Amino acid sequence: MLYAILCYASEDVVCSWSKAQDDEVMANLLDVQDKYAKAGRLGPVARLLPTTAATTLRKVKGESVVIDG
């Protein structure tokens, strides 16, 4: 079994962090993930982009359509 570890805060809060604050949060997250990574139990890891960068993929009449936002 692989694990996913989610770190969530309000997007407005995260976007207001200084680089130092962001680095501290990411270092803490890496500490938590380390135990599972060393055991080979951590699934893929990715940082999500802000919702302003969101895209949606839909199938319309058999065609794939990408919608921004």
Contact between residue 67 and residue 58 where contact means Cβ atoms under 8 Å apart: yes
Question: Model pTM?
Answer: 0.68
Where do the structural domains in the chain lie, given as residue ranges?
11-68
Q: How confident is the model at residue 15 (pLDDT cuts 50, 70, 90)?
A: very high
pLDDT surpasses 90 at 55:
no
pLDDT value of position 69: 62
User: What is the distance between the alpha carbons of residues 49 and 34, in angstroms, rounded to a whole number?
Assistant: 23
Q: What is the CA radius of gyration of the chain?
A: 16
Strands 63-68 and 55-60: antiparallel
